[in-house]
Structure 1
């Protein structure tokens, strides 16, 4: 008997008919003798609807109340799926994050899981029930409802799998696996049979929407076998695993991109110890995550400091940066929301030289100017003007023969 955790995203449970189809898939797992926990998202479009409702009341709602509101989307889904399972004779019990007691910190809308009390879930599994858990949510030590951020149901599923030492965590979505890049941008993109946790972590952090970054972190940390599958097609999907010797053969596994970037620059800052903290301290203090950073030193003992943030955080970050400029005596502040980040990802970069040069040459031939560069052992990221996103991704996909590499 195996213990399987399955997660179904919003598209997979977007209509009553699709919920019934999920119930059939879940019941089939139980009928073959396995125990199963199902984690579900809100029905497709429901979270956006709830957010729109909140903005009709208040443009800047209280974070605690916002979490109370958006967490209801998953509560609807767990009830409907449990009803569908009961209808076909499959015993099931639904749980909100609070009922499972998924304990988180108190960072509303960006909460992190600290502990899971699995006693009630284990009792239901031993009694032969399917356990249906609301993804994306938990409670803090004060009993307040918290949410884990967009895509948080993935994190819930992997955390449940880790807490109960599941045999596999299966993420069902509207795609049949992880691709070399987004097929909507590059039709020649191919599905990968296998990708490392390290590569998937980079892909998720760099803009790939297949999995939430914290879900991959959890899976890698607790060695949870993770597989991405389609809710609508049969297939093996993509297995996310640890690096093996065969993976050294591939130079690049995929191309990730992120449209949600914005760039800010503060110019003419006095070049002295602590300048980076004086700029980024207030940003971090407002719970705004900074991505790429570039600092240039001028001949007049001043520095220009450029960094990127998520576009949703851009207005607040710009406001804070202007306040900082007045305090430190900077010359000017400006920003740009019309940028994107394109990244090459692959563990093979460790043992292969010349990848960066090929990337830069390819973009140059297409007349694409690089505005920022960031590198690590297994990725190279560049910031370019938003209008060059599709051209950049397609030209790099061809330059590195990713369609051919994946097919092999």
Structure 2
């Protein structure tokens, strides 16, 4: 008898028919003799609707009350799924994040898990029940409801699998697994049968929407092997695990495209120590996440500094940097939203040369100009014009022959 943690995303529980299908899948596994902990997201579209309702009432609702509201989405799913299992004569109990023992810090709408006390979970499992936990939520030590940010149900599942030492963790979603690129953008993208934590983390952070980056970080830290797979059929998905020697034989694992990017340039910045620190400290204090940074070669005592942020943070970034630019005597600030970040990812890049050359050659052959470049040990990212973004993803995917690297069952679904 094994202990399995399964997570079902919003599309998997989008309506009562799909909830019944999920219940039937769970019932089959339970009848095979396995212990089950099920984590559920809110029904598809519910969280967005709750946010809309909140903003109709108050344009800037308090984080505490927003968390109280948003937590109801997952609680609806967990209760309905428990009812569906009861109708199949399967003993099941639903628990909120707080009831499941998930304790977080006090950062409302993006809380971090501080600890989990699984005593109540174990008691229900020992009694032979399927335990259904509302994902995406927990509570502070003082009892306030918190949520874990977008994709937080993934984090709930990974964290529970870690603390319960589960034999298997499965993330059920509306896609067949992790692909070499977004199949909606690159038609010949193929499903990856196995990927390392580091590759998955980079792809999640760089625009792949299959997994929340924080969830992958947590899985890597606690060595939780998990599988991303579709809830609509029984085909194998993508296993995410620690890197193995064989994994490095694939130089580039995938291509990601992030079109939610904006670029801001401060022109004529005095080239002296402390200026860059002043600018980026102010952005950090405003909780604005800066991604790529490029500083030009100094000429006549001044330089230009360019950096990228999320599109939704551009207005705030401008408000922060404009007074600083005036204070330090910079010439002007320019910004652009019509950009995209293209990245190639692969742990094989650690031991293989020529990846950058092939990337730049493919883009040049397609007439696509590179505006910014950023690298790490296992990834290369470039900023390109948004109008060329899809074309860029396709030509780079073809250049690295990623349409041939997936598993035998690699069709998009």
Specify if TM > 0.5: yes
Cα RMSD of the aligned pairs, angstroms, is: 1.3
CA distance in 1, matches of 2:84, 2:352: 52
Equivalent pair of 2:177/2:237 in contact (CA under 8 Å): yes
CA distance in 2, matches of 1:312, 1:143: 32
Structure 2 equivalent of residue 55 of structure 1: 55
Deviation readout 1:361-394 (Å, 9 max, x if unpaired) = 1111111111111111111001111111110011
Equivalent pair of 1:372/1:383 in contact (CA under 8 Å): yes
> What is the deviation of 1:263?
1.4
Structure 1 equivalent of residue 411 of structure 2: none
Structure 1 equivalent of residue 39 of structure 2: 39
If the length of structure 1 is used for normalisation, what is the TM-score?
0.97
Structure 2 equivalent of residue 256 of structure 1: 256
CA distance in 2, matches of 1:65, 1:74: 16
Structure 2 equivalent of residue 301 of structure 1: 301
Structure 1 equivalent of residue 380 of structure 2: 380
The runs of 5 or more residues in structure 1 that have no matched partner are: none
Q: Stretches of 4+ moved more than 4 A in 1?
A: none
Deviation readout 1:170-199 (Å, 9 max, x if unpaired) = 000001111110111111111111111111
CA distance in 2, matches of 1:291, 1:161: 31
Pair 68,323 (structure 1): closer, same or farther in 2 beyond 3 Å: farther
Corresponding position: 1:236 with 2:236: yes
Structure 2 equivalent of residue 171 of structure 1: 171
The runs of 5 or more residues in structure 2 that have no matched partner are: 409-413
Structure 1 equivalent of residue 195 of structure 2: 195
Q: How does 1:4-83 map to 2 (within 5 A)?
A: 4-83=4-83
Equivalent pair of 1:2/1:34 in contact (CA under 8 Å): yes
CA distance in 1, matches of 2:225, 2:20: 27
> What is the deviation of 1:407?
5.2
Deviation readout 1:258-278 (Å, 9 max, x if unpaired) = 121111122222222222221
Structure 2 equivalent of residue 182 of structure 1: 182
Pair 140,286 (structure 1): closer, same or farther in 2 beyond 3 Å: farther
> What is the deviation of 1:124?
0.6
Equivalent pair of 1:103/1:115 in contact (CA under 8 Å): yes
CA distance in 2, matches of 1:239, 1:213: 16
Pair 271,395 (structure 1): closer, same or farther in 2 beyond 3 Å: same
Pair 61,323 (structure 1): closer, same or farther in 2 beyond 3 Å: farther
CA distance in 1, matches of 2:206, 2:361: 21
If the length of structure 2 is used for normalisation, what is the TM-score?
0.96
> What is the deviation of 1:61?
1.9
Structure 1 equivalent of residue 287 of structure 2: 287
CA distance in 2, matches of 1:407, 1:13: 27
Equivalent pair of 1:247/1:348 in contact (CA under 8 Å): yes
Q: Does 318-327 or 72-81 show the bigger shift?
A: 318-327
Pair 97,254 (structure 1): closer, same or farther in 2 beyond 3 Å: same
CA distance in 2, matches of 1:233, 1:32: 18
CA distance in 1, matches of 2:140, 2:263: 34
Equivalent pair of 1:201/1:213 in contact (CA under 8 Å): yes
Equivalent pair of 1:271/1:297 in contact (CA under 8 Å): no
Structure 1 equivalent of residue 222 of structure 2: 222
**Matched residue of 2:109: which SS?**
coil
CA distance in 2, matches of 1:114, 1:323: 38
